[in-house]
Chains A and B, each alone.
Chain A
Amino acid sequence: EVQLVQSGAEVKKPGESLRISCKGSGYSFTRYWINWVRQMPGKGLEWMGRIDPTDSYTNYSPSFQGHVTISADKSISTAYLQWSSLKASDTAMYYCARSWGGGNDYFDYWGQGTLVTVSS
């Protein structure tokens, strides 16, 4: 069974750093891209960027480039999303989702989401 299991909810203060994770199982982790999607409270979905776990090649949405870093460790089938200095506006639910690539970039499996709350 394909699963993407994300790390638990986080509560942080502005200026703190954070890394959340997404562990894939039930499939060959290096055959699919891992994407990250933000959903702010009561709002819609926003694609942040993606990583190819084979070589850690990344694509970012211009809206998120420079604000977050996407990485992966293929040896443990895990992708990461990290911030060096959180802002209150980073409060959101973050989902990881896999995509095949090569034109088949729809998201067929999603993680359960990680809620990040940034508040002083």
Chain B
Amino acid sequence: EIVLTQSPGTLSLSPGERATLSCRASQSVSSTYLAWYQQKPGQAPRLLIYGASSRATGIPDRFSGSGSGTDFTLTISRLEPEDFAVYYCQQYGTSPWTFGQGTKVESK
């Protein structure tokens, strides 16, 4: 199965700063079948990005995704207070679908 490794484990930033989250795959992800989700405490995950770079419905444009092959990035251009959460990448190109272990974005 494809193993996804996210870094860093925790990102400590202030509102207004830029966040850059990395997701590296153990083998190439087919056709950029890579998604990003946001999860806040006590809530279900929410889809942010699919196809590596397409924003889901209703997602603000401060969220952007990029990458291909084995290296993917989620960027939050200017952190808003509601963006502090845990972020997961997921590949859905090769079964079994797999998730990264998550990156926590916390307020400094």
A interface residues (Cβ-Cβ under 8 A, vs B)? 35, 37, 44-47, 59-63, 95, 97, 99, 103-108, 110-113
* A47 partner residues in chain B, CB cutoff 8 A: 90, 96-99
Asked whether, in the complex, the Cβ of B99 is within 8 Å of the Cβ of A46, the reply is yes
Do A44 and B44 contact each other (CB < 8 Å), given the known contacts A103-B33, A105-B92?
A: no
Main SS of chain B's interface residues?
Answer: loop
Instruction: Output the residue of B57, B95, B97 with the most chain A CB within 10 A.
Output: B97
Asked whether, in the complex, the Cβ of A112 is within 8 Å of the Cβ of B100, the reply is no
Name the residue of chain B whose CB is nearest to the CB of A107. Answer: B47
B interface residues (Cβ-Cβ under 8 A, vs A)? 1, 31, 33, 35, 37, 39, 44-47, 50-51, 56-57, 88, 90, 92, 95-102
Count A/B pairs, Cβ under 8 Å. Answer: 61
Taking the nearest CB of chain B, how far is it from the CB of A4, in angstroms? 9
Contact residue among A45, A59, A63, A113 (Cβ-Cβ distance under 8 Å from B88): A45
Name the residue of chain A whose CB is nearest to the CB of B56. Answer: A108
Name the residue of chain B whose CB is nearest to the CB of A95. Answer: B44
Taking the nearest CB of chain A, how far is it from the CB of B100, in angstroms? 7
Do A111 and B97 contact each other (CB < 8 Å), given the known contacts A44-B102, A106-B90?
A: no
Asked whether, in the complex, the Cβ of A107 is within 8 Å of the Cβ of B35, the reply is yes
- Determine the distance from Cα of A60 to Cα of B1 in the docked complex, in whole angstroms: 13
